[in-house]
Structure 1
């Protein structure tokens, strides 16, 4: 029996590792002709590290990243709106705030898949159900047949669009620039996100003396103006924000920028289609406001391996996976979308009101949400 995974991102690679460790052979088909060390930084919360521990690779992942002492939301003058202490996180969930370069995480994951199971330059564009299984058609003209298919090829998955043509990505209302730069001498030990009337700016230290930063501003979708933005434009936009934001931008060059509109997927009616299953961003892409996109993708792989181990068939496992994962991932999508709307308020009166509410919010409210995210069993 052949199990195919479309997409060698975080979801696809984690799933391959989890399944292979259950003795289920898998093959991964990746559209890119080569795996390049690209991308920016990302955070991995306690639920993601728990999942990695379950499959035995947490220490390798942790060694490639950096633990932080806190996560803080500030206003544009640098005053605290909300904060989470990593010591408290560690005591309650067993892990501090953690950050890693996406390329480093990919490297670790690739190191743990079975040799010879990753096939590059294989962009799946169509499929056909046959008596022999699921025939996959690739952009290069080749085909292959698998018995079970796991779609992990992202928010714009062409196969998902054939299965659910009515489902389209939803624009969140803001666009984003990211970059990873050499640390210009800043003493950074926390993840910081600043909410201001001109937009949102976040920065975190990475391993190997790097800094990852991102900037989001409200804008029309597919804006030619935003696409043409360079580092000079961003320096002007955030010039009045607190230190070290101007300094970070001063040490960034235009060629280092990664730009894209922020989108998610509205609630999919289903993730399972018999011997076909949607996971990761192909099934539940979320905005990055809760730092849970990669975390939920990682959870997917571990949960699928566990339910398949107990099921009589892949189709049965896919149905069980959907029952377990759909409510949780859709909750994350909704919460993250709402948080983004709140973070991107521009009216000064509403901004001041929001900041005041967040400052007086009882710690139990934050704790309740973190418990829902982090207290997960595999």
Structure 2
């Protein structure tokens, strides 16, 4: 059977591009199909911890000087910014974890990854509408484009994955009860803000915010989260709606937030939306015969450990190695080994992300105990950051 491509990657986000690099470095022919007409990451900032930065460095993408390296992790109180706990990051973290903790604009990272994938491997404006597994390949159907036949397909197409429907049936993401909004703000828009290049978590009753500097530290990335008494009606039909900074400001102002954070909210730039935070329930399986899932398409977590991108990078690195090792006929074994090696870790990251979101927004008598426990955060989440998905060199299975 004639195959148009060997490995088709659906999705040109951070995970899909990392998988393409991982395979191309091992001489496996790939094609990335992205539905947008230009590579443009939605959202603002992204945190890449050592578990992701180490793997990108191994693939030739060095983040050390491309973003902001937060000197500290600081937990603060919502109403006055008083410091609850502070932990070193910076060089202390890099020395112990073997790679830096970097915060950067998502678009910056996407451009760095896209630069490593030759243009002939990137196919923009390709929206997948369905997949058909044939005896020797997978037929990808696109809106307004000719079909493409691939030996194998990997869906790295996000929490609302089209490929997932083919692999795992109709599994919908579940709302956590939280509503979030985010944006980037010039650092001088809130001169009272403490240590803007650090990684900050401000804890409030039923509300929390996370902010950090991105790229050269001239911009602040803000994620603000609140828990309404009841989820708005729009969450039943979509996960995001247009919003204004005035609407967001009213919510955090009513909750008694400090002026320095309210100033950030007031000055949010660009595309302002409320979105219902979602995670993916456990899938029965991550692959069918010739189609596999990776990243958020397989195991989207809530954002509260900052590990969505990191887990996608780990998936991509691992799966790239296993597919290259397996060669054209060994994809089934590669998919099974990949799922076996990744399922427990990604589930545990999902659990810790869920718990972190709850802890940040505690009220009443639980707060003093939580504040005391924040002293142990580096120890408690160390397993996330020091994890090594590094694989041995490929034996050079030939895909041609």
* Shared fold (TM-score, shorter chain, > 0.5): yes
Contact 1:132 1:145 in 2 (8 A): no
Q: CA deviation at 1:270?
A: 1.7
Q: CA deviation at 1:243?
A: 4.8
Aligned mates of 2:43, 2:296 — CA distance in 1 = 16
Contact 1:11 1:297 in 2 (8 A): yes
Contact 1:69 1:97 in 2 (8 A): no
Indicate the RMSD between aligned Cα atoms, in angstroms: 2.2
Q: CA deviation at 1:223?
A: 4.1
Evaluate the alpha carbon distance shift between residue 160 and residue 228 of structure 1 in structure 2; reply closer, same or farther with a 3 A threshold. Answer: closer
Runs (5+) with no aligned partner, structure 2: 391-400
2:74 aligns with one of 69, 72, 75: 72
| Equivalence for 1:85 | 88
Contact 1:198 1:238 in 2 (8 A): no
Aligned mates of 2:374, 2:157 — CA distance in 1 = 40
Aligned mates of 2:148, 2:301 — CA distance in 1 = 31
Q: CA deviation at 1:105?
A: 0.7
List per-residue Cα deviations over 1:139-179 (Å, max 9, x = no partner): 22521100010000111112212332242101111111111
2:331 aligns with one of 292, 304, 314: 314
| Equivalence for 2:203 | 195
Contact 1:54 1:302 in 2 (8 A): no
| Equivalence for 1:277 | 292
SS at match of 1:92: helix
* Displaced runs of 4 or more, over 6 A: none
Q: Establish whether residue 131 from structure 1 lines up as the match of residue 148 from structure 2.
A: no
List aligned pairs for 1:1-378, cutoff 5 A.
2-36=6-40, 38-58=42-62, 61-76=63-78, 77-86=80-89, 87-184=91-188, 186=191, 188-208=196-216, 209-219=218-228, 220-221=230-231, 223-224=233-234, 227=241, 229-239=243-253, 240-252=256-268, 255-311=270-326, 313-345=330-362, 348-350=363-365, 353=366, 355-361=367-373, 366-378=378-390
Aligned mates of 2:319, 2:339 — CA distance in 1 = 9
Aligned mates of 1:49, 1:296 — CA distance in 2 = 11
Aligned mates of 2:84, 2:211 — CA distance in 1 = 16
Q: CA deviation at 1:189?
A: 2.4
Q: CA deviation at 1:93?
A: 0.7
Aligned mates of 1:38, 1:319 — CA distance in 2 = 32
Q: How many residues align?
A: 370
Contact 1:82 1:358 in 2 (8 A): no
Aligned mates of 1:147, 1:264 — CA distance in 2 = 30
Aligned mates of 2:171, 2:42 — CA distance in 1 = 29
Contact 2:46 2:105 in 1 (8 A): yes
**Could you state the TM-score of these two structures normalised by the residue count of structure 1?**
0.91
**Could you state the TM-score of these two structures normalised by the residue count of structure 2?**
0.86
List per-residue Cα deviations over 1:176-197 (Å, max 9, x = no partner): 1111122226452201121112
Q: CA deviation at 1:33?
A: 1.9
SS at match of 1:349: coil
